[in-house]
């Protein structure tokens, strides 16, 4: 048996159009409902995140507050610390010169006698005397080796002989010369950097006539670490103006600086 | 208008258009603002979380405790030094503070230092300290200073090198904070003569408080320094 559809196509087409429209309507509604649902979820997440942000921000403020307290504490300590630091610096400063002089004494050759020792914080001026040139040479070489103390050592007053007594010797190179003696009229090379301030020696060794058996000389040593007197930031004018402060001046018999 | 003339393609186009419009509308009106709010909240969290967390708070508390301890220790150390080396001078009340300073400067400091300068191990050649008169005006600027400085003068002592060095460092044991300036040594041991200058520093416990209304100055904030001016015109002769 053969089935033949004799109905016109338009009859089915209406149903198809209706079904298509219904499908789109369903899709449209689904989009709207889905959108609202998703937006609702997002709203919950947003609320949750904002709550979290508020908590974290409050925490941050609390921590910042604690940090500020710590900074305030540290700021309040400054004037106290300044005073304490100054007191300690003065106590330390009072020990600096004895320590320096003791170190100078350590480097001093035993057969040399000091007659004056003074320091202005930047350099030490030593007036001394000895019996012979060997002692003087040994003493001078010792001082040159005091690289931990001095950057420059200058000596004056080494005696000469006759007309050549004003010869001035400045750092000529003497490579390989192990221990120059004063009798050999040594000149020191900048290359001999193992010796204290040898490169900076401007020693004008004045040849002065020998006198009463003693050779008097003056040594000027520049300190590697200058000694600076501490000062307090808040100190104004002195409360009293006694006539002496700092380096004692006009000392009888004090060596000239 | 009859829909009977619409064909399937028309329905598809219209339906698709409406769906696209719905998608765009829902996204633009509902989703996008929420996403923006979500991102903003996340950004706030990200910004605050490096500091706003337990570890940072613990660290901050530890720092605070450390700072408090440091303040406490420093204050304690300063108190020890103040008790050891400073007179109890408080200028909070300027009139009382001025009297305290008078006693310190006139009665106490000089004799104390001269007594301390006597060292049995060396011979003191000269230890005469000179301290000028203290200010007679409680509004003097000196009461507003953090530290009072007294250049005392020069001390000359005689002895062996070792004893002289001990004598210099001995000033650290004085009941006042005294700075010894660079000592100059002359002579030969054991008859070395050392000369050094001394400067005394005094930290008041408290700086000057409110200035005092004084006769003759007009206002309380006189610039200080010296005796108040403005004696009454009718003051008796011979004063």
pLDDT digits (tens, 9 = 90+) for B180-233: 999 999 987 788 899 999 999 999 999 888 888 877 654 444 444 444 433 333
The CATH number of residue B120's host domain is 3.30.70
Which has the closest alpha carbon to A159: A128, A108, A205?
A205
CA distance A167 to A162: 11
How distant, in Å, are the alpha carbons of A2, B34, B129, B138, B162 from that of B192?
A: 147, 91, 22, 45, 10
Helix (H) or strand (E) holding B157: strand B148-159
Distance CA B181, CA A56 (A): 59
| Whole-angstrom distance, CA of residue A31 vs CA of residue A27 | 6
Beta bridge pairs of residue A126: A117, A219
pLDDT bucket at A187, cuts 50 / 70 / 90: very low
Chosen from A23, A105, A248 to mutate, greatest number of chain B CBs within 10 A: A248
When CB atoms are compared, the residue of A43, A95, A251 closest to B186 is A251
Q: Tell me the average pLDDT across A145-163.
A: 80
Q: How far is A50 from chain B (nearest CA, A)?
A: 5
Residues A98 and A163 in one domain: no
3-state secondary structure labels for all residues of chain A: CCCCCCCCHHHHHHHHHHHHHHHHHHHHHHHHHHHHHHHHHHHHHHHHHHHHHHHHHHHHHHHHHHHHHHHHHHHHHHHHHHHHHHHHHHHHHHHHHHHHHHHHHHCCCCCEEEEEEEECCCEEEEEEEECCHHHHHHHHHHHHHCCCCEEEEEEECCCCCHHHHHCCCCCCCCCCCCCCCHHHCCCCCCCCCCCCCHHHCCCCCCCCCCCCCCEEEEEEEEECCCCCCCCCCCECCCCCCCCCCCCCCCCCCCCCC
Rounded Cα–Cα distance for residues A96 and A161 (Å): 41
pLDDT attached to residue B189: 75
CB of B221 less than 8 A from some CB of A: no
Query: Cβ of A223 under 8 Å from any chain B Cβ?
Result: no
pLDDT at A239: 58
Per-residue model confidence (pLDDT) at position B79:
93
Check: CB of residue B193 under 8 Å from CB of residue B187.
Answer: yes
Answer yes or no: do A133 and A82 share one domain.
no
Distance of CA B98 to the CA centre of its chain: 23
Q: What is the average per-residue pLDDT within A11-29?
A: 89
Are B188 and A115 in contact (CB < 8 Å)? yes
Pair (A168, A119) in one structural domain: yes
**What residue numbers bound the domain in which A23 lies?**
11-106
* Whether residues B104 and B190 fall in one domain: yes
Read off the pLDDT of residues A95-135 as tens digits, 9 standing for 90 and up. Answer: 999 999 999 988 888 888 888 999 999 999 999 988 888 88
| B13 band by pLDDT with thresholds 50, 70 and 90 | very high
Distance CA A223, CA A149 (A): 6
CA–CA gap between residue B177 and residue A246 (Å, rounded)? 15
Same domain? For A25 and A127 the reply is no
Quick one: B156 and B146 in the same domain?
yes
* Tally of domains in chain A: 2
Closest-CA residue of B relative to A236 is B145
SS3 B39: helix
Query: Does B92 lie in the same domain as B178?
Result: yes
Same domain? A194 vs A163:
yes
Question: Is B238 part of any domain?
Answer: no
Residue ranges making up the domain that contains B167? 88-202
Same domain, B118 and B71: no
Q: Are residues B21 and B121 in the same domain?
A: no
In a domain, B227, yes or no: no
Cα–Cα distance list, A161 to B120, B174, B206 (Å): 48, 53, 68
Q: Please give the structure tokens belonging to residue B185.
A: 């040594």
Q: Domains in chain B: how many in total?
A: 3
The candidate with the shortest Cα–Cα distance to B155, out of A91, A245, A117, is A245
Residues A100 and A115 in one domain: no
Residue-level pLDDT at B165 = 93
Which residues is A118 bridged to in the sheet?
A125
Residue A156 is predicted with a pLDDT of 83
Tell me the C-alpha distance between B17 and B23, whole Å: 10
Q: Is A107 helix (H, G, I), strand (E, B) or coil?
A: coil
Are B133 and B167 part of one and the same domain? yes
Pairwise CB contact (< 8 Å): A247 & B181: yes
Mean pLDDT of chain A: 75
A184 and A205 together in one domain: yes
Q: Is B12 at the interface with chain A, CB within 8 A? A: yes
Please tell me which residue, A241 or B31, carries the higher pLDDT value.
Answer: B31
Query: Per the CB < 8 Å rule, is B182 touching A86?
Result: no
| Residue B103 is assigned to a structural domain of this protein | yes
If DSSP codes are grouped into helix, strand and coil, which group holds residue B7?
coil
Facing A56 at nearest CB: one of B27, B48, B195:
B48
pLDDT computed for residue B25 by the predictor = 95
CB contact under 8 A, B168 and A94: yes
**Whether residue A219 sits in one domain with residue A116:** yes
Q: Are A118 and A257 in contact (CB under 8 A)?
A: yes
Residue B58 located in a structural domain: yes
Residues of chain A with Cβ-Cβ distance to B148 below 8 Å are 239
Residue A255 belongs to a domain: no
Q: What is the pLDDT of residue A170?
A: 34
Secondary structure class of A125 (helix, strand, coil):
strand
> Is residue A193 a part of any domain in this protein?
yes
CB count in 10 Å sphere of residue B62: 12
Does residue A165 share a domain with residue A183?
A: yes
Q: pLDDT at residue B76 above 70? A: yes
pLDDT in tens, B80-89: 999 999 999 8
Please identify, among A106, A125, A158, the residue that sits at the C-terminal boundary of a domain: A106
| Structure confidence by residue, pLDDT tens digits, B114-137 | 899 988 889 999 888 888 889 988
Euclidean distance between CA atoms A239 and B224, whole angstroms: 14
Residue B173 in this model has a pLDDT that exceeds 70: yes
Relative to beta strand A215-223, strand A123-130 is antiparallel
Q: Do B146 and A230 touch (CB under 8 A)?
A: no
| pLDDT tens profile B15-71 | 999 999 999 999 999 999 999 999 999 999 999 999 888 999 999 999 999 999 999
State whether A53 and B51 contact (CB < 8 Å).
no
Give the pLDDT confidence score for residue A61 in this predicted structure: 94
Q: Is the pLDDT of residue A256 over 90?
A: no
pLDDT: is A208 or B26 the higher one? B26
Q: Residues A79-91: pLDDT tens digits?
A: 899 999 999 999 9
Which residue of chain B has the CA closest to A83?
B78
B186 contacts in chain A (CB < 8 Å): 115-116, 251-255
Q: Are residues B116 and B79 in the same domain?
A: no
The answer to whether residues B146 and B194 belong to one domain is yes
B77:A84 CB<8 A: yes
In A, minimum Cα distance to B61 occurs at A66
φ and ψ at residue A79, rounded to 5 degrees = -60, -35
B109 — contact with chain A (CB < 8 Å)? no
**A39, pLDDT greater than 50:** yes
Q: What is the pLDDT, as a whole number, of residue B28?
A: 94
- Give the pair of three-digit tokens for residue B2: 């009859």
Quick one: pLDDT band at residue B177, thresholds 50, 70, 90? very high
Could you tell me if A123 and B234 are in contact, meaning their C-beta atoms sit under 8 angstroms apart? Answer: no
Are residues B108 and B182 located together in one domain of the fold? yes
Are residues B198 and B109 part of one domain? yes
Dist CA B133 CA A241 (whole Å): 10
Q: Decide if A39 is inside a domain.
A: yes
């Amino acid at each position: 048996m053969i089935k033949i559809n004799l109905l016109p196509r338009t009859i089915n087409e209406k149903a198809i159009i209706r079904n298509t429209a219904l499908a789109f309507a369903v899709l449209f509604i689904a989009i709207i409902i889905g959108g609202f649902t998703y937006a609702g979820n997002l709203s919950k997440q947003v609320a949750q995140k904002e709550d979290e942000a508020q908590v974290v921000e409050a925490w941050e403020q609390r921590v910042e507050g604690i940090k500020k307290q710590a900074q305030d504490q540290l700021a309040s300590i400054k004037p106290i610390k300044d005073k304490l630091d100054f007191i300690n610096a003065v106590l330390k400063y009072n020990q600096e010169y004895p320590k320096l002089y003791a170190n100078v004494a350590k480097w001093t050759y035993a057969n040399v006698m000091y007659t004056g020792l003074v320091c202005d914080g930047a350099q030490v001026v030593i007036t001394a005397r000895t019996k012979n040139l060997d002692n003087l040479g040994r003493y001078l070489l010792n001082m040159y080796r005091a690289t931990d103390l001095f950057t420059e050592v200058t000596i004056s007053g080494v005696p000469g002989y006759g007309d050549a007594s004003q010869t001035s010797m400045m750092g000529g190179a003497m490579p390989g010369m192990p221990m120059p003696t004063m009798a050999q009229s040594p000149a020191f090379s900048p290359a001999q950097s193992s010796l204290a301030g040898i490169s900076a020696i401007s020693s004008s060794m004045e040849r002065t006539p020998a006198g009463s058996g003693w050779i008097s000389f003056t040594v000027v040593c520049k300190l590697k670490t200058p000694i600076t007197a501490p000062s307090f930031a808040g100190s104004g004018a002195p409360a009293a103006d006694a006539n002496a402060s700092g380096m004692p001046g006009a000392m009888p018999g004090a060596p000239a600086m | 208008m009859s829909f009977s003339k619409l064909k399937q393609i028309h329905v598809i186009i219209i339906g698709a258009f409406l769906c696209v419009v719905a998608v765009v509308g829902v996204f633009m009106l509902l989703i996008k603002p929420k996403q923006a709010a979500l991102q903003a909240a996340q950004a706030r969290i990200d910004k605050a979380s490096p500091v706003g967390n337990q570890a940072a708070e613990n660290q901050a508390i530890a720092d605070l405790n450390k700072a408090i301890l440091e303040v406490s220790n420093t204050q304690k150390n300063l108190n020890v030094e103040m008790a050891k080396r400073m007179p109890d001078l408080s200028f909070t009340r300027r009139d009382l503070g001025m009297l305290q300073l008078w006693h310190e400067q006139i009665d106490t400091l000089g004799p104390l230092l001269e007594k301390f300068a006597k060292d049995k191990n060396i011979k003191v050649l000269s230890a005469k300290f000179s301290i000028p008169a203290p200010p007679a005006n409680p509004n003097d600027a000196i009461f507003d200073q953090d530290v009072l400085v007294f250049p005392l003068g020069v001390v000359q002592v005689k002895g062996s090198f070792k004893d002289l060095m001990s004598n210099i460092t001995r000033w650290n044991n004085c009941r006042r904070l005294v700075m010894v300036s660079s000592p100059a040594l002359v002579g030969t041991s054991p008859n070395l003569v050392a000369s050094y200058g001394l400067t005394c520093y005094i930290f008041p416990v408290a700086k000057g408080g409110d200035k005092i209304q004084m006769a003759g100055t007009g206002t309380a904030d006189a610039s200080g320094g010296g005796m108040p001016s403005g004696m009454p015109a009718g003051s008796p002769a011979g004063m």
